[in-house]
Amino acid sequence: MRKIYFTFLLFFLGCITLNAQTTFNSDAAVRSVYRGVDSSLEKDLVDVTHKLFDKKKHPNSDSAKKNTTNKYNLAIVPAVGYTLQTGFAGILSTNIGYFNTGSDKISSITTSITYSQYQQIIVPLVLNIWTKNDKYNIVSDNRFIDYPSSIYGLGGRTDPNKGHTIDFVGLKLHESILRSVGKNIYAGIGYYYDQFWNIKAINPGTRRINTIITKELGYDETASGPVLKFLYDNRENQINPSQGLYANFVLRNSFRFLDGDQNFQSVLIDVRKYLPFPHKYSKNTLALWSYNWLTVAGTPPYLLLPSTGWDDQYNTGRGYIQGRFRGRNMVYLEGEYRYRISRNGLIGGVVFANVENFSGDLSQQYNTLLPGYGLGIRVKLNKHSGTNLCVDYGFGKNGSGGFYVNIGEVF
């Protein structure tokens, strides 16, 4: 069955950027993010909004920015979207980007509130903070979700026509702190807590099957335990990288004595490489992503098994619905070419391709490759932090396809 998701954004409903004097960052540091490109020569959606609707000179215009020594940059974007899963949805997104004193890495705070016509709620709050002189990296990934999701069984050979819809409420609290142990090298600890509750199958006209699925899954699932993390990151801009390498290793543990349902251990290996392309002075970027999510001991609860679109930012597997494939282990590769359409950086485009592979059932066996590909548009929301509004359309196997929307790059 073909699953198509239509999403549109009315981003001219309003967009605000604020620049305030603080002790955070210097203009020179912000401008260095784009390989020497002066942000005063760039344009974003705020510049367009001011030009169209307000002819007056604002104190936060580029000329005023040049006289401001320290600032942070805040973008607020209201939007309207639609998917078959959520119906119409109202979205209010906020992104802050800034530099701490002596830091070469941009800190960011991103949040949004989504409310759909089906009374679904999605609220993420993600912080990636670099302290003075990049000594510590504080990462806080928190999400509250209340919405239905489709499940299809385990492995890569599941039938797209035999999905079942379940409803649940979810809470994700992933907190970690890393300390510098070398140039661009960090090590640290954290604590991950995930809980799903009020789990129930809601397929219309299949009451008996709903009862069986709900009984098999249980009414709640919880994972709780410490993590060890190792990170190498020499990217100039973590919000919209144009060059550099990111390599993240996470060893996660969940224990029953810490309120987890099962004792299990998993490993995440997330590697991303960014290259100016086709030459080293290009403002276009070739981005490569390897995401490997492996269960090494025990068995996680069903909803916490590796699955399409269930990475930390819900971005893997463009071309397929979230949860389309699930297994004990997941291996994922993606490449994306990001290019400018307008010279001032306001409008850009991407083309991408990915492939994923899942172990069949709960065994160590792998079966089939699952490709996806597509293209998208980028609109610059905040030229200082590099934050883009990203609208993509992805294609998958068996007629699968849909729109995908992000504030900030997919990876």
Look at the block and give the residue holding tokens 């605000």.
16
Q: Is residue 237 part of a domain?
A: yes
Q: Is residue 4 part of a domain?
A: no
Each of the 411 residues of the chain gets a pLDDT tens digit; together they read 333 334 444 444 444 444 443 333 334 444 444 444 556 678 887 777 777 776 555 544 444 344 333 467 776 777 766 554 566 778 888 878 888 888 888 888 988 898 887 778 889 999 999 999 999 999 999 999 998 777 887 776 676 777 788 889 999 999 999 999 999 999 999 999 999 999 988 876 677 777 777 777 888 999 999 999 999 999 888 888 999 999 999 999 999 999 999 999 999 999 999 999 999 889 999 999 999 999 999 989 989 999 998 898 889 999 988 888 988 999 999 999 999 999 888 999 999 999 999 985 554 444 578 999 999 999 988 787 788 888 898 999 888 888 887 778 999
In the structure encoding, which two tokens stand for residue 46, read together? 């705020």
Q: Is residue 15 part of a domain?
A: yes
Read off the DSSP letter of residue 326.
B
Closest CA to 116 of 92, 93, 90, 94: 90
Closest CA to 329 of 305, 312, 349: 305
Predicted local distance difference test score (pLDDT) of residue 69: 39
Q: Is residue 193 part of a domain?
A: yes
Predicted local distance difference test score (pLDDT) of residue 229: 98
What percent of the chain shows pLDDT beyond 90? 43
Per the CB < 8 A criterion, the answer to whether 66 and 27 are in contact is yes
Predicted local distance difference test score (pLDDT) of residue 40: 66
CA distance 52 to 120: 34
Q: Is residue 6 part of a domain?
A: no
Per the CB < 8 A criterion, the answer to whether 403 and 7 are in contact is yes
**Segments in 6-53 forming alpha helices (H):** 27-31, 45-53
pTM, 2 dp: 0.82
Closest CA to 74 of 14, 20, 138, 10: 20
Count the domains in the chain: 1
CA distance 15 to 91: 12
Predicted local distance difference test score (pLDDT) of residue 238: 82
Predicted local distance difference test score (pLDDT) of residue 403: 81
CA distance 279 to 281: 6
- Cis before 278? omega within 30: yes
Q: Is residue 3 part of a domain?
A: no
Predicted local distance difference test score (pLDDT) of residue 76: 76
Pairing of strands 164-182, 72-83: unpaired
Q: Is residue 136 part of a domain?
A: yes
Q: CB 141: neighbour CB atoms within 10 A?
A: 18
Predicted local distance difference test score (pLDDT) of residue 81: 63
332: domain CATH number is: 2.40.160.50
Pairing of strands 220-233, 285-298: unpaired
Q: Is residue 297 part of a domain?
A: yes
Which residues form the domain of 138?
11-407
Closest CA to 64 of 36, 40, 44: 40
DSSP letter string, 350-368: EEEEEEEEEBSTTSS-B--
At 258, give phi and psi (nearest 5°).
-105, 20
